[in-house]
A and B are shown apart, each in its own frame.
Chain A
C-alpha cells in the first residue's frame, strides 16, 4: 500500500526489513498550546478532509465535544481549567490525537500484517483494509488514541493526513489553524521553532516552558510546546510515556520464547519416539491375556 512518495519503514506483523535505501525527511507537527485558542477549527477540518460525519451528541457539562476521541473524531480539543499556582487560573486547551511515536506501541502490538505502517517520514498510519479489528493497537498505545469503530470493527486514528503529506501538502488541521498554533515541517525545523517559542514563553514568565517530545517512545512526530513542561499532567499528558513493559513482554520476548518452547516440545517428542520407540504392550502380558 505504500504510496510512491511515502516509503514504508516499519510494517505491523512483519519480521523482515522494509525498503530502506531512500533517505526521506522526518516530518513533525508542532502544537503550540500557548497559541491555541481552542477554536476547534482543526477538529472540523479533520472531519471534513477525512469525510467523517460524527454523531450530534450531548453537552455533559464542558466545552469538550464530543466527550472523547472516537472512530469519527480523530482529533479532539481537551479543555483543562487549572491553577498551577494559587489565584492564577489558566485554561489549557490541548489538541489531542495520535502522537505518531517513533517507537509506536500500536504497530508493535498489531498482529495483522500491514494494518499499521510507519512511513519513513515518521507518520504512523492505519490501513483499515488490513485491519482485523482485534484492538491490540489500543492495548499497545501509551497515549490511548486508537478507537475501535462499532460500525465496521476497524480501528481509526489521526493519519497525520498521510494522503496530503504524500503530495506535499500540510495536514488539514495545520492548514486550517487560524492562529498558527499548529505548524508542520521537518522534525528538526519544528524543534528549532519550538525553541524560539520556549524562549518567548520563558520571557513571559513561564519558567518551565518546554517541548514535549517524549524519549520513552523514541520521540514523537507530533510534539507540543507546553507552558508547564514540568507538569504534563496538567494537559492530560503522561509524564514519561513508553510502551508498557507488559506490551513489551507480550510482543517481545514471549514470541521467540514461545516458538522455541513449542518447537522444543515437538522435536523432543519426535526424537524420543525415534530413540526410544513406541511403548507397546509387552508380549508377555499379551500372551497372558490371550490365554486367559
Chain B
C-alpha cells in the first residue's frame, strides 16, 4: 500500500476493483465502513461478481474478468476528455511535459521493438529525449505531440464508452456513472483510494492493470494524499515481509535486484541501479544503492566481504533468467531439478495446472517440505481417489516432512499491507517435534557448512563465509534476526557534513538507512527495515495508538518502513509551494520558519528541501516525478493496453481485431509445451475466475474445524441465466472442465453472477472458490488449480488465475 489501512478512513471515495476487500480483508475493511460512516464516503465496486464488498457498496458495476485495463483506460479517456484532472498536480508532479523519443511508437496493438519469435520487446525506443546536459527535454505548454500528455491522450482516446462496454460487458450507463463519481475526486478536497489485490495481479497483464489504476490516481492527484493512494491488499500474513526481505528469486532484501549473468562487473551493476537525476534539482534517492548493497553484503559475509572482493558480489548467483514459480515447475517437469525445498508453500494447490505440477514433483529425487500442516504437496504421491488420482508405485520422489511452527507459536515481526512491522509474541508452544523455521534452516545450514568444511567442493566460499553470529547457532532468535536486518555500525559512523560528529558509535544499532555507508563500515540485513530496532530498542513492539492529528497517523504504533513513514509520496499532498492541498487532512507541510518539512507523518522527502528548490515528490525516480510513460520499466509497454486473457471467450482483441499477435499479452511468456494446453471458446465457452472466501484462508483453514463448519464443502457459483441454460439448480453437483482437467463441486446458483453482453454475445462467468483439497477436516474436494492455465503476468509471472475458460455440466450422481 502507498497509504495504510487506517488511512482509508480519510477517503471520500473508495474504488474496490481487482479485489474483494470485504471477503479477503474483512478486518481492514473496517476502515471502509469508518470512511462511509464518518466521512460520508461512497464505495464503488467493479467486479465480475456481486461480491461481499458489493453488498455494502453504494454502486456496483459488473465487468468481464480480465478486461480491467479497458475499463480503466476508458476512465482515463473520460477524465482527459472531460477535463477532470488535477492540473496543478499533473503538471508539477508527473511526466506530463516530458518528451518521448521520436522512434517510439504503437501500431495495431504492438509497441515498437517487438520480436514475435521471442514474445518480447527491445525497449531501446521506450525512452525520453535527453538534452546535452543529460536531462529530459520537456514542453511545459504540453503542446508538443511527443510529450507524454499528448501521447497518452491519443493512446487512450480509442477507449470510448462504447468500446469499454463492448469489451468489458459493463453497461454504458454503469460505466459512465462510475466515471462521474470518480471524476469528482479531481478536486483538491476530494480524494479517492483504490483497493486492489489478486484480482488485478493474477492476470497475464496484471502489472499493467495496476499501472492503469495508478495512472488514474495520478491524473486525479490522489497519490501521496491522505485517503488516497494505490493500495495493494496483501493476502498472506506475512507476504509483505516476504517481498520486503527479497524472497523472490530475482530480488535481494529491500527490493534490490540480483544481477543478471551478463552483469559480471560490480561497478556496472551498481551504476545501473544508482541513476543520476534526470531533471535538475532532483534527489534520485536510489543513488544510495551502493550503501544499501554493501551494507547487505557486510551483514551476510561480515569480515569476508571486503572492498577487494567487491564486497562478495562475486559470490552472489547471477541470473540466467528469472526463476519464478512457473519457471521452476517448467524446469522440474523437464527433469532439470533433483531436489526441492518447499518451505511454507503448497504448490500442488497454489500453482497453476495441477497435473503439470504433480508430474514435475514426481520427477524429483527428493523434496523437503517445511510446514506446520500436512499439505497436499507433501502428500502429492498418495492416491486420494478422484481428488488426487496418482499411482504411488510409479512415483520415486522421497518426501521429507519437517514440521514447523505456525505464527501463533513464535515471536517475531509481521509486516502488514500498511508496511507496518508489528512485533508479536507467541501464544502457545509448538506441538510435538515442530521447530521454528529458522531453527530448521539453521540445522540444514550448519550441516551443509560442516560438509563443505570437511569435503570442500566446487564453490564453498559463500557457505563457509556466511556470517553466523547467533548465540545459539542452531536457533537464531527472532530478536537477533530483527537486530540484524535493522543493521549496526561496524565502525563509528560520522556526519558527512562534519567528520567530527559521530552519528552512531561502533557496535551500535543504526537509527535508519541514512546512516548506511558504502565503505563497509555498516552492516544491514534489509535497508528498508533500518530503524526498526535501533538503540532505542524494538520499535516494532510499540503499542502507543495516540493519534494527535486525528487522521489515523499513529506514528508510535509499531514501526513502518521506510523510516516509519505511513503514507508514501506524502510530499505530493502539498502544492508546489509546500501547502497542503487539503489543510483539514494534513500529512506534511513546509515549515518556512524552521526550514523543515513536518506534520502528522514523517516526510517522504528531503526534510530540509525548500519548495522553491523545485525538488519533485517522487524522490525514488530519477525524474523526481511520477511516470505515466513507464519508459523501459515494464515488459509489455510503456502505456497499458488492453489485451485479452490468454484464454478468452473472444477470438480476437476487439481493440485490434485483425492482429492475432495483439490478441493476448504479446510479451507474456508461454512455455513451448503449454500452447496446446489452452482451451478454445468453442469447447470451453464460459469465463472462469477463481477466488478466496472469507470463511477460509487459502489451503490452511480447511484443517480447522470452525472454518470448516461455516464453509464445509467445495462449490462453484453459477449465474441464473447459465444455470437455466444448463438445467442446473442450486445444490446440484456439477463438473467444471477446462482443457487441463476437471473438478466436481456443488452448484450455488445466484443472481450475483450476471451474464454480460461482450461484442454482442452473452458471456457467462463461472466463479470458483479455491479452498478445498484432499487434506484437512473439511470435506475433501478438488484442487481448483487443476483447471488453471500455466501462464503468468509478463512482468511478475504471477499466474493467470482470474480469467480462463471452462465448460460446465450437471452430473446426476456424486462421483
| A interface residues, Cβ below 8 angstroms from B | 34-41, 43-44, 47-48, 53-63, 65-66, 73, 81, 83, 89-93, 178-181, 197, 200, 203-204
Contact = CB atoms under 8 A, between A and B. Distances in A.
A60 B731 contact: yes
Contacts of A61: 715, 729-732, 746-749
B301 to A, nearest CB: 45
Contact of B29 (A44, A179, A203): A179
B58 A59 contact: no
B748 A63 contact: yes
Contacts of B712: 56-59, 65
Interface stretch (B291-299, B465-473, B552-560, B700-708): B700-708
Given A38-B694, A39-B22, 6 more contacts: A44-B706, A59-B748, A60-B746, A81-B750, A91-B752, A197-B37
Contact of B779 (A56, A197, A204): A56
B746 A59 contact: yes
Nearest to B694: A39
Nearest to B747: A61
9 contacts: A35-B56, A39-B695, A58-B746, A59-B715, A65-B711, A90-B55, A91-B52, A93-B55, A203-B40
B30 interface: yes
Contacts of A81: 750-752
B709 A47 contact: yes
B55 A37 contact: yes
For the complex of A and B, the 4 pairs showing the least CB-CB separation, nearest first, are A61-B730, A61-B731, A37-B22, A59-B713
A90 B731 CA distance: 22
Interface in B9-44: 22-23, 26-27, 29-30, 32-34, 36-37, 40
Contact of A62 (B55, B60, B708, B730): B730
A178 B29 contact: yes
Interface string B228-254: 000000000000000000000000000
Nearest to A48: B706
Contacts of A55: 709
B37 A39 contact: no
Nearest to A81: B751
B663 to A, nearest CB: 33
A35 B752 contact: no
A181 B34 CA distance: 10
A274 B344 CA distance: 92
Contacts of B713: 57-59
Contacts of A40: 694-695, 710-711
Contact of A178 (B26, B50, B53, B56): B26
A203 B713 CA distance: 40
A55 B709 CA distance: 6
A44 B26 CA distance: 14
Nearest to B730: A61
Interface string B713-734: 1110000000000000111100
**Which of A43, A59, A178, A181 counts the most chain B CB atoms within 10 A?**
A59
A20 to B, nearest CB: 38
B777 interface: yes
Contacts of A89: 50, 60, 751-752
Interface of B: 22-23, 26-27, 29-30, 32-34, 36-37, 40, 50, 52-56, 58, 60, 694-695, 705-715, 729-732, 746-752, 777-779
B779 A180 contact: no
Given A41-B26, A58-B779, A179 B50 contact: no
B708 A56 contact: yes
Contacts of A38: 52, 55, 694
Contacts of A36: 56
**Which of A37, A43, A62, A200 counts the most chain B CB atoms within 10 A?**
A37
A179 B26 contact: yes
B694 A44 contact: no
A91 B778 contact: no
Nearest to A93: B55
Given A38-B55, A93-B55, A181-B33, A66 B751 contact: no
Nearest to A76: B710
Contacts of B33: 35, 179-181
B523 to A, nearest CB: 40
Contact of B748 (A58, A62, A83): A62
B170 to A, nearest CB: 14
A224 to B, nearest CB: 15
Contacts of B29: 37, 178-179
Given A53-B705, A89-B752, A37 B710 contact: no
B730 A37 contact: no
Nearest to B702: A56
A36 B713 CA distance: 23
B50 A91 contact: yes
Contacts of A200: 36-37, 40
A162 to B, nearest CB: 22
B748 A91 contact: no
Contacts of B50: 89, 91
**Which of A39, A83, A181 counts the most chain B CB atoms within 10 A?**
A39
Nearest to A200: B37
Contacts of B22: 37, 39, 179
Contacts of A83: 751
A61 B716 CA distance: 9
B26 to A, nearest CB: 4
Given A35-B33, A200-B37, A56 B777 contact: yes
Contacts of A58: 712-713, 746, 779
Contacts of A34: 56
Contact of B694 (A37, A47, A91, A92): A37
A285 B730 CA distance: 83
A56 B26 contact: no
A57 B731 contact: no
Contacts of B27: 178
Contact of B26 (A37, A66, A90, A91): A37
Contacts of B710: 40, 43-44, 65-66
B618 to A, nearest CB: 34
B234 to A, nearest CB: 16
Contacts of A204: 58
Contacts of B32: 179
A39 B752 contact: no
Nearest to A92: B55
Contacts of B30: 178-180
B709 A54 contact: yes
A39 B26 contact: yes
Contacts of B706: 44, 47-48
**Which of B22, B32, B55 counts the most chain A CB atoms within 10 A?**
B55
Contacts of B729: 61
B715 A91 contact: no
A10 to B, nearest CB: 33
A177 to B, nearest CB: 9
Contacts of B53: 37
Contacts of A53: 705
Contacts of B705: 53, 56
Contact of B714 (A37, A41, A57, A59): A59
Contacts of A178: 26-27, 29-30
A39 B29 CA distance: 11
B688 to A, nearest CB: 18
Contact of A180 (B34, B730, B746): B34
Contacts of B750: 81
A204 B37 CA distance: 11
Contacts of A92: 55
A39 B20 CA distance: 12
Nearest to B34: A180
A259 B785 CA distance: 71
A63 B722 CA distance: 19
A290 B253 CA distance: 123
Contact of B709 (A37, A56, A91): A56
Given A38-B52, A89-B752, A56 B778 contact: yes
Contacts of B715: 59, 61
